[in-house]
Amino acid sequence: MTVEAAIPTEDQLAEAGLRLRVAGGVATITLARPERRNAMTGRTWTVLAHVGQTLPASVRIVVIKGEGPSFSSGIDLAMFGPDGVEGEPSLMGYLGAGPGGEAALEAAIAGYQEGFLWLRRPGIVSIAAVRGHAIGAGFQLALACDLRVLADDARLCMKEPALGLVPDLTGTKPLVDIVGLSRAIELCLTARSVSASEARDLRLAELVVDGADLDRAVDDLVAALLATPPEAAAATKALLQQAVGSDPAEQAARERRAQVARLTALARQGAPGASGPPAG
């Protein structure tokens, strides 16, 4: 007998500074510590990972947004202090714990990264709805999403190097994939803020809208994404992800295999497979 893991409770989510709403194939995750500008802790990321592991299979779209004026001010800076945040170990505390401390810290970071990695899986499309600041881990969370919709007051900043750190929450790869190596070096090593209009020019934003229109723009995008059949959407996202840096012949072969699988499934379903898929 398999026992399905339960999604985090409201209390677990609240302790992690999160809220979750699942309705109509859409999961909306709200970063909900506005009094700290949605600063995040290790628990935020492990609970995010838990959300990813337990979302109902019916969920096709994940929207991540922030409550209040900022998307997220990044890691809760108390995580670096001697006491950490309440109920969680300080990052520095791992290193003072004697032999094995470095390995334990690396394992903890691996757990945090799980909160980001699932947002890329093919069966869902993830959207970051960003208003105000997305700093450090906040910027990396937006980068972990497939799509970014920005309010015109959005400010993106990879602040880690300015604090003596590196971006380690899976943000380096999407950043380089999107803006290229040289621009990524410039953005990270100056830790400057990128405005919404520059983000659009750098392709860090699919859409920039007036702040008052952010929710509506995300709703419109969600509706358009939901209109595409889920199996075709998942297979296409997987193909596009594999296309990055792949050999053309290898990718062409993947396209053929994926199409045969799609046509086979459509034929099994009968119409419209029998007469071909609807014209696009």
Residues of this chain that bind ligand ACO (CB under 6 A): 36-37, 39, 70, 73-78, 133, 135-137, 159-160, 163
Least distance to ligand ACO, CB of residue 248, Å: 38
Residue 141 DSSP SS3: helix
Residue 60 or 140 with smaller CB distance to ligand ACO: 140
User: 60: which 2 tokens?
Assistant: 């096709």
Residue 158 or 233 with smaller CB distance to ligand ACO: 158
CB atoms within 10 A of CB 67: 16
Task: With beta carbons less than 8 A apart as the criterion, state whether 75 and 135 touch.
Answer: no
Task: With beta carbons less than 8 A apart as the criterion, state whether 222 and 127 touch.
Answer: yes
User: 131: which 2 tokens?
Assistant: 């208003």
Residue 68 or 101 with smaller CB distance to ligand ACO: 68
Residue 43 or 159 with smaller CB distance to ligand ACO: 159
Radius of gyration of the chain (CA): 20
Residue 86 or 247 with smaller CB distance to ligand ACO: 86
Least distance to ligand ACO, CB of residue 271, Å: 51
Least distance to ligand ACO, CB of residue 70, Å: 5
Residue 146 or 160 with smaller CB distance to ligand ACO: 160
Where do we find the tokens 């809220």?
19
Least distance to ligand ACO, CB of residue 163, Å: 5
Least distance to ligand ACO, CB of residue 198, Å: 17
What distance in Å separates the CA atoms of residue 215 and residue 129, rounded to the nearest whole number? 8
Closest-CB residue for ligand ACO?
136
Least distance to ligand ACO, CB of residue 243, Å: 30
Residue 210 DSSP SS3: coil
CB crowding 36-54: b at 16 or more within 10 Å, else e: bbbbbbbbbbbbbbbbbee
What distance in Å separates the CA atoms of residue 197 and residue 80, rounded to the nearest whole number? 33
Q: Tell me which H or E stretch contains 76.
A: none
